[in-house]
Amino acid sequence: MAANSKPKPLQPEGNPRAKTSHNALNSQVLELGRLFRDRIPKSGQQRLTNPQNHKENYFRSIIKRLNDKKADAMPADEFNDLYRALLDHHDEVVSTSTMREIVFGILEGHKKNRLTDSEVAQVDRVLDNVSSIRLPTEFVGYSTSEELMQHPTSPDAGYFADDKKTRSVHYRHDLERKVRFIGAVHNHTEANNQWTLESALKAGACEAILYTLNEMAAPITAADIKQHSLMRHVSNDRLKNAVEAREGLKKNLVELGGSQAADNLRQSADEILTRPWKFPGKNLRAASATRVRGPKFPSA
């Protein structure tokens, strides 16, 4: 593929029911990884704020291993297991298979064109930032009057619904989130001649975070969510940890260059905590205003 060509997404943006598959999308991401090889930045953003204690410098070891001229290809399952083990029982906002194909694409020609030590360090930094954007699986889902979804999680740990009954809904969203990621990367590279691996992945990660916040991970204390959830009889004070974890995604979005709605200071703490998840006129191109006030999440 020519260096300036870009594969097209397999389904139109905004249509989570269009027929495609993870394998088909992975082929597109692998093509992106090949393009990224020549767009590694010399420097860039420092580590994201990460309350989930993601293990840093993970990719440096795996990239060095795959960058060896004598290295054999890593089996996909081995990469998947290593990647998920960084944070057990977490939803990767940029999926495991997406990160895997990016790494494999970047390093595909390593036997003829190895990465320098400086490039290894930069790829490690960029990928660490993207991979750190995760949310505990029990907090990923929603329970509206129209539909239920719970990310697969540990037995009896889900907040919204029985995950065994909603797996097809989760699969649909997982595919669409990947489509949104790919589409955002394409749009960014088409609009910016000076794009880099970092700027492209920031654009994709922002889109994936927005989709997660707006379509996949509802705030459990929201008035239109809690009443239909498995937590409907639990006090909001006991559910704040779930809300705070979700607020961390908003913080990451802003750090990556995305935007967040301003806090309505006229509302009480209880009003913002129970603010509906879905409402007419909601801006889906920005994170909603904070739901938890305090030192960790100051008013926007």
Q: Is residue 299 in a domain?
A: no
Q: What is the predicted pLDDT for the residue at 296? A: 61
Q: Is residue 14 in a domain?
A: no
Which residues does residue 141 pair with via DSSP β-bridges, in sequence order? 150
Q: What is the predicted pLDDT for the residue at 211? A: 97
d(CA 91, CA 217): 10
Q: Is 294 left (phi over 0), alpha (psi -120 to 50) or beta?
A: left
d(CA 273, CA 271): 5
Token pair for 104? 């494999």
Q: Is residue 197 in a domain?
A: yes
CA angle 34, 95, 60 (to 5 degrees): 60
**DSSP character string of 147-187:** -EEE---STT--SSS-GGGSHHHHHHHHHHHHHHHHHHHHH
- 260 in helix, strand or coil? strand
Q: Is residue 190 in a domain?
A: yes
Q: Is residue 170 in a domain?
A: yes
Which residues does residue 135 pair with via DSSP β-bridges, in sequence order? 91
Non-local CB neighbours of 234 within 8 Å, separated by 6+ positions: none
Q: How many CB atoms lie within 10 A of CB 279?
A: 11
Q: Is residue 1 in a domain?
A: no
Residue 103: φ, ψ to 5°: -60, -45
Nearest to 26 by CA among 76, 90, 92: 76
Per DSSP, 287 falls in state B
Q: What is the predicted pLDDT for the residue at 55? A: 59
Per-residue pLDDT of the chain (300 residues; tens, 9 = 90+): 444 444 444 344 444 445 578 889 999 999 999 999 999 988 777 777 665 555 566 677 778 877 876 667 788 898 888 888 777 789 999 999 999 999 999 988 666 778 888 898 899 889 888 988 999 999 999 999 999 999 999 999 999 999 999 999 999 999 999 999 999 999 999 999 999 999 999 999 999 999 999 999 999 999 999 999 999 999 999 999 999 999 999 999 999 999 999 988 899 999 999 999 998 888 899 999 999 876 565 554
The H or E element that residue 123 is part of is helix 117-131
d(CA 244, CA 290): 9
- Domain span at residue 239 reads 22-273
Q: Number of structural domains, the chain?
A: 1
pTM of the model: 0.89
What residue has token string 């260096």?
3
- Quote the distance between the C-alpha of residue 104 and its chain's center: 19
d(CA 86, CA 55): 6
Amino acid (1-letter code) at residue 79: F
Which residues does residue 136 pair with via DSSP β-bridges, in sequence order? 90
d(CA 18, CA 3): 29
- Quote the distance between the C-alpha of residue 203 and its chain's center: 11
Which residues does residue 260 pair with via DSSP β-bridges, in sequence order? 287
Q: What is the predicted pLDDT for the residue at 294? A: 66
Q: Is residue 207 in a domain?
A: yes
Q: Is residue 225 in a domain?
A: yes
Nearest to 54 by CA among 139, 132, 121, 130: 132
